[in-house]
Amino acid sequence: MREPEIAVTFEPQGKKVFVLSGTKIIEAAALAGAALNLPCGGQGTCGKCKVRVVDNPCDPTDTERKTLDREELDSGVRLACQSCICASTTIDIPETSLLASSYQVLSAVDGGIVGDVNPAVRKQYVELPKPSRDDPAADLERLYGALGVFTADLALARALPARLRTWDFRGTAVRADHQLIDFEQGNTERQRYCVAFDIGTTSVVGSLLDLESGRECANTSRMNPQTRFGDDVLSRILRAREQDDGAADLREVIVAEVNEMILELLDQAGVPKERVYEAVFAGNTTMQQLLLGLDTAALGEVPFVPVTARGQLLAAAAVGVAIHPRGRVYVFPVIGGFLGGDTVAGILATDLENCPTPTVFVDIGTNGEIVLSYDGQMLAASTAAGPAFEGARITHGMRAVEGAIEKVIFDGDARVNIIGNVSPIGLCGSALIDVAAELRRHGMLMREGLLLAPEHLPADLPEAIRKRVTKTDNGVAFLLASANESGTQAPIVLTQGDVRELQLAAGAVRAGMSILLRRAGLKVEQLGRVLIAGGFGNFIRRSNAQCIGLLPSGLDHHRLAFVGNTSLAGARMAAISQTARACAEQLARRIKRIDLSLDPAFQAEFVNAMTFPSIRPEE
Amino acid sequence: MREPEIAVTFEPQGKKVFVLSGTKIIEAAALAGAALNLPCGGQGTCGKCKVRVVDNPCDPTDTERKTLDREELDSGVRLACQSCICASTTIDIPETSLLASSYQVLSAVDGGIVGDVNPAVRKQYVELPKPSRDDPAADLERLYGALGVFTADLALARALPARLRTWDFRGTAVRADHQLIDFEQGNTERQRYCVAFDIGTTSVVGSLLDLESGRECANTSRMNPQTRFGDDVLSRILRAREQDDGAADLREVIVAEVNEMILELLDQAGVPKERVYEAVFAGNTTMQQLLLGLDTAALGEVPFVPVTARGQLLAAAAVGVAIHPRGRVYVFPVIGGFLGGDTVAGILATDLENCPTPTVFVDIGTNGEIVLSYDGQMLAASTAAGPAFEGARITHGMRAVEGAIEKVIFDGDARVNIIGNVSPIGLCGSALIDVAAELRRHGMLMREGLLLAPEHLPADLPEAIRKRVTKTDNGVAFLLASANESGTQAPIVLTQGDVRELQLAAGAVRAGMSILLRRAGLKVEQLGRVLIAGGFGNFIRRSNAQCIGLLPSGLDHHRLAFVGNTSLAGARMAAISQTARACAEQLARRIKRIDLSLDPAFQAEFVNAMTFPSIRPEE
């Protein structure tokens, strides 16, 4: 019943994704974070989404034969909106086929050069005049002459005179803003690195960047070790507030994990710690405050007040981050208690404010953050969407880790794909959406969320699927894996209760989106694009998300773009560019925060959004 | 033979000094740091130096009877240039009799208000709007709203949310520049203090200042504990360079002493440590660098290069100074290796750059620093004058501490005064000058520095004085205290060799002054004033210093003013005024440093200056 996924590598980004056979190329490219041009709306008539399938191209469709010429077809050129993946392959995406703003994100995630490389940390090799009776100026004045005035901490000022004399008044000055971070032997101008981190509630992703080129040298990801103190944000806030040393424990484990990840990054790239001068962090407000050891108590209750809204530039030593001893830490600005640095980083990475048409950015993680950009304005809201999509409150729900069913397709029977190709032990958010969408399409799930009992199922339903529907004490359930197939020796099912949770979660996101659109005086149809961010967002199927009403169904399919881990992408941009950092600060201040619970229309929108969209006209 | 000194208290400054009977009031006032008006040159004709002798006024002189009216004379008014001290008393100095610029110094030293009170540290009591759903702004944004934007260190940011909530969003913000130093419970606006220190090679003086009024609340002084590692600057530089942990040892003892002094100051005034937000330090370049733990090796050899020339603003915690944990340390800018923060502070305190006539500032400590201000320009030089005046290389020389003969007057016999009224154990710099001057006046010491043998002494010399001259293997010597009188059970003498050392020291200062005047194209007679600073300068007698050529004899006596510890006075000004601090930085950069050893005329001037000035026309 399990079908292995097919590996597809997209070039020049070098990003590899795994998809089921028959997936459209454009969908696979979206999984890889690349949004392609689709001015004709995926009709295959404009030829703007051309790609070249290097190995094993499928036979061209009739549409492709009309739109592409013989030579193109022979060399493997296909239309991404028409051609499918039929075997493991590599696909070249010409830059002309990429949507500009999505390219930015893609390259930020995958090691390309992003915008300007304009880091805060600068290096300059100097050869200073040596002191003499005619020139007995102070050591620091000598350096000011070459570099301009700066400040230096005592430890460095103490070491400087001996270094200058041992190295014959030559060396490389490392500065950030007006601070001298170090004075190094010889010319080390080209050895200049920083690290960027996305600190998620569930996972932590880190990247080592070369500040000369702006390129990524290494990357790594881990579970957030704070999960041992609680799965979600609120449980950690409670832990920090209620336990002795709770805040210190939470801070210590994340700082230690970050430091281990830095060691791993340095090891991968062969870079010494002393050459890493900055660390940039983006995360939700709680994760950022826990990292800094800031009091999170006020984030745990109405009105969810953060300690600081602006980005924080701090001594790495004070934070405990093990880079250069005089290195610095930059933590992203936040919009509010539930609109954190990860959202700001995402807006920065997608260049949301400059989108030419009204655009919604939605990050479906533990919470669902939604930002609407239109007419030079931005509205943002946070919804409590997350727990269901991350497995909480779902009978066999789990996070997208090994053993999770992460994809479900009804094809005569229910085909499932499991992360790590092991026996399944539960289902994660994307599978939850898949199965609900397939149940809807097959007439097994009503608009109001009722799972039909076996006796009410449509007559034309394949028998294999029909057999999966059972009645239990808690209502109807749908079998995804039998006790024999399951890694837990117990059946894995979707229950009526699970569907309710899904309705609540999807409804919250959709209602939030509706409120923002209403505030802006816009209709869904006027949206140029919907950008879906987050590790989770990478793996959900757009059509299914629309089918269950998580994403608006009034939109052309191609206007929905997956933009990947934009929190990390934004952190990386801020790491290599002061301009990006200044832009993040401005964004965080400019965005108008909407408290959905204060909007009188929210409850009605929410109830409305909990009803699944109709599939057939008569529904 | 020992005559006790008489106590004189000057009001309104409240400064008490001790002088021998018969000392002119103007001289006693100078000892107290108060320079009086003397437009008539001390002839007693202008009446501008009027003072009121509260108790025991001497009988008025004929001159006073002419210049002052009956009523004045009856109420104790006298002319400071005419009247002497004949008994213990209190003397009122009306402000009209004080020279403006000296008043500034005097009051700085003695607790008055100096210039503008404009401290870097500001306090502001705030009552912030409390967070609500309509106003969920971050805690720091709430404070920015009331105070403007600032930076706060992590420790404070960690504590802030709980404080705000416990104190109902009310409290006092303490800021310096753009840094939030603390947020205190209740309204503490009026509790704002700092400390100012003069770190001398030999002694350390500290002052606690109320930043509301600018007034001194307490003061204390101690020996510099580094003297145990070496008496002078060079021996400490060697110690720091040659010994393992030498620099650390030197740093630790001075920081510990400063911290003990701070505790004493706080105890005197009943002020808690947490209300002291800044500590300001002025000292010579080596003392300042040792305090900060900066490498002093380059100060020990040509071309005597300091680590830093600009003033340093540092975290008190980094320096180790025990004030408020987020308090700051300001260390004075220096002009060069041997023209340190003490000289800059002195120039600041005496407002030297704004003197209307050409003025020399001379600080005779371990080194002799000389600054000439004229026509809006300033020249500065340092001479190796000091060791003799501080007792080094003098047979029975010692510093001005208990047991030192500090004053000598020939009055039929040699009368001496001893610090602490104990048996004498040596002589300090002021006594060295006194005895040499008296020997010159009595024809016992030739211009070239030869002490006459008993057989060549003038015929009219009092017998008691003649008997003190003896011949030894090392030439002629003059007896100051016999073995019976001495606290060491050995005679205390001035030797021919001691006179040579005095000639070298005085010659260096005079030659330095001559070179600066020559560079400026000025003659001694054009000098409006010579300001003599330093603890030492307080106790030398101007006439005697002129007699031996330490101070220029071509000047009217009243143009020589003692200005006291101007290093502390300048430190205090910088402590209570940002304007003064900015001024100090500008001064240190504006002053032109003259390297005397590079001046081709210096050697000739030096040899010339070693010859004592003539006393009688035939000499």
Mean pLDDT computed over every residue of chain B? 89
Q: Which of A399-403, A583-587, B89-93, B391-395 has the highest mean pLDDT?
A: A583-587
pLDDT-derived band at B193, boundaries 50, 70, 90: very high
pLDDT-derived band at A104, boundaries 50, 70, 90: very low
Structure tokens at A293: 């050891």
Would the ipTM clear 0.85, i.e. be above it?
A: no
**Partner-chain contact A598 B337, CB within 8 Å:** no
CA distance B221 to chain A (A): 27
B263-303, pLDDT tens digit by residue? 999 999 999 999 999 999 999 999 999 999 999 999 999 99
- Answer with the residue of higher pLDDT: B605 or A97: B605
In chain A, which residues have their Cβ closer than 8 Å to the Cβ of B336?
136
CA distance B313 to chain A (A): 9
Average pLDDT over residues A256-285: 97
- Give residue A565's pLDDT: 84
**Partner-chain contact B292 A137, CB within 8 Å:** no
Q: How far apart are the first and last CA of chain B?
A: 32
**Partner-chain contact B157 A334, CB within 8 Å:** no
Of A141, A158, A303, the CB nearest to B294: A158
A402 touches B at CB < 8 Å: no
In chain A, which residues have their Cβ closer than 8 Å to the Cβ of B293?
154, 158
Alpha carbons A245 and A268: distance in angstroms, whole number: 34
Q: Nearest residue of A to residue B316 by CA position? A: A154
Average pLDDT over residues B52-57: 89
Q: B 124-183 residues with CB below 8 A of A?
A: 131-141, 153-154, 157-162, 165
A483 touches B at CB < 8 Å: no
Of B154, B306, B597, the CB nearest to A138: B306
**Partner-chain contact A158 B131, CB within 8 Å:** no
Count H helices and E strands in chain B, helices first: 19, 27
pLDDT-derived band at A512, boundaries 50, 70, 90: very high
**Partner-chain contact B308 A139, CB within 8 Å:** yes
B489 touches A at CB < 8 Å: no
Please say if the pLDDT value at position B539 is more than 80.
Answer: no
pLDDT-derived band at B383, boundaries 50, 70, 90: confident
Give the residue from B309, B312, B289, B200 showing the smallest Cα distance to B241: B289
Alpha carbons A592 and B340: distance in angstroms, whole number: 55
**Partner-chain contact A309 B141, CB within 8 Å:** yes
A1-50, pLDDT tens digit by residue? 445 678 888 888 778 887 778 788 887 887 776 767 665 656 777 777 88
A298 touches B at CB < 8 Å: yes
In chain A, which residues have their Cβ closer than 8 Å to the Cβ of B294?
154, 157-158, 161
Please say if the pLDDT value at position A231 is more than 80.
Answer: no
**Partner-chain contact A298 B137, CB within 8 Å:** no
Across A228-232, A422-426, A436-440, B307-311, least confident range: A228-232
Across A283-287, A350-354, A454-458, least confident range: A350-354
Average pLDDT over residues B569-593: 94
Alpha carbons A551 and B391: distance in angstroms, whole number: 90
Q: A 334-363 residues with CB below 8 A of B?
A: 334, 336-337
Alpha carbons B290 and B375: distance in angstroms, whole number: 36
Please say if the pLDDT value at position A385 is more than 70.
Answer: no
- Percentage of chain B exceeding pLDDT 90: 62
B585-605, pLDDT tens digit by residue? 999 999 999 999 889 999 999
Average pLDDT over residues A126-155: 95
Average pLDDT over residues B342-351: 94
B266 touches A at CB < 8 Å: no
B67-121, pLDDT tens digit by residue? 888 888 998 999 988 888 888 899 998 877 776 433 333 333 333 334 678 999 9
Task: Tell me the H-state helices in B522-590.
Answer: 542-547, 566-576, 578-590
A303 touches B at CB < 8 Å: yes
pLDDT-derived band at B173, boundaries 50, 70, 90: very high
Alpha carbons A405 and A591: distance in angstroms, whole number: 37
- How far is Cα of residue B26 from the mean position of the Cα atoms in its chain? 19
Please say if the pLDDT value at position A603 is more than 70.
Answer: yes
CA distance B304 to chain A (A): 7
- Give residue A377's pLDDT: 95
Alpha carbons A284 and A368: distance in angstroms, whole number: 11
Q: How far apart are the first and last CA of chain A?
A: 32
CA distance B114 to chain A (A): 30
Phi, psi of B499 (to 5 degrees): -60, -40
pLDDT-derived band at A100, boundaries 50, 70, 90: very low
- Give residue A97's pLDDT: 77
Q: Which residues of A291-307 are buried (b: 16+ CB within 10 A; e: fewer)?
A: bbbbbbbbbbeebbbbb
**Partner-chain contact A136 B595, CB within 8 Å:** yes
Please say if the pLDDT value at position A384 is more than 90.
Answer: no
pLDDT-derived band at B29, boundaries 50, 70, 90: confident
Average pLDDT over residues A472-498: 93
pLDDT-derived band at B38, boundaries 50, 70, 90: low
Of A131, A165, A294, the CB nearest to B157: A294
Helix (H, G, I), strand (E, B) or coil at A104: helix
In chain B, which residues have their Cβ closer than 8 Å to the Cβ of A132?
303
Average pLDDT over residues A579-597: 93
A598 touches B at CB < 8 Å: yes
pLDDT-derived band at B399, boundaries 50, 70, 90: confident
State the DSSP H helix or E strand holding residue A90, giving kind and residue range, or none if neither.
strand A89-92
- Give residue A107's pLDDT: 35
Task: Tell me the H-state helices in B297-399.
Answer: 316-319, 341-349, 386-389
B561 touches A at CB < 8 Å: no
- Percentage of chain B exceeding pLDDT 70: 93
Q: A 31-90 residues with CB below 8 A of B?
A: none
Of A153, A308, A598, the CB nearest to B157: A308
- For chains A and B, CB pairs below 8 A equal 131
Of B133, B294, B310, the CB nearest to A598: B133
**Partner-chain contact B154 A304, CB within 8 Å:** no
**Partner-chain contact A318 B154, CB within 8 Å:** yes
CA distance B295 to chain A (A): 6
> Angle CA(A90)–CA(A96)–CA(A100) in degrees, nearest 5?
105
CA distance A202 to chain B (A): 24
In chain B, which residues have their Cβ closer than 8 Å to the Cβ of A297?
161-162
- How far is Cα of residue A132 from the mean position of the Cα atoms in its chain? 58
- Give residue A420's pLDDT: 79
In chain B, which residues have their Cβ closer than 8 Å to the Cβ of A295?
158-162
A317 touches B at CB < 8 Å: no
CA distance B188 to chain A (A): 24
Of A138, A312, A334, the CB nearest to B307: A138
Please say if the pLDDT value at position A151 is more than 80.
Answer: yes
In chain B, which residues have their Cβ closer than 8 Å to the Cβ of A598?
133-134
Please say if the pLDDT value at position A469 is more than 90.
Answer: yes
Mean pLDDT computed over every residue of chain A? 89
- Give residue A180's pLDDT: 97
Q: In this structure, are residues A576 and A582 in contact, taking their beta carbons and an 8 Å threshold?
A: no
Please say if the pLDDT value at position B566 is more than 70.
Answer: yes
pLDDT-derived band at B408, boundaries 50, 70, 90: very high
Of B158, B292, B293, the CB nearest to A293: B158
Alpha carbons B200 and B204: distance in angstroms, whole number: 5
**Partner-chain contact A303 B131, CB within 8 Å:** yes
- Give residue A110's pLDDT: 38
- Give residue B105's pLDDT: 38
- Give residue A23's pLDDT: 82
- Give residue B438's pLDDT: 96
- Give residue B310's pLDDT: 96
Of A154, A161, A307, the CB nearest to B314: A154
Of A131, A159, A295, the CB nearest to B303: A131
- Give residue A222's pLDDT: 86
Please say if the pLDDT value at position A111 is more than 70.
Answer: no
Alpha carbons A492 and A480: distance in angstroms, whole number: 5
**Partner-chain contact B337 A136, CB within 8 Å:** yes
Q: Nearest residue of B to residue A241 by CA position? A: B162
Q: Which of B289, B295, B302, B310 to mutate to test the interface with A (most CBs of A within 10 A)?
A: B295
Alpha carbons A2 and A408: distance in angstroms, whole number: 10
CA distance A136 to chain B (A): 5
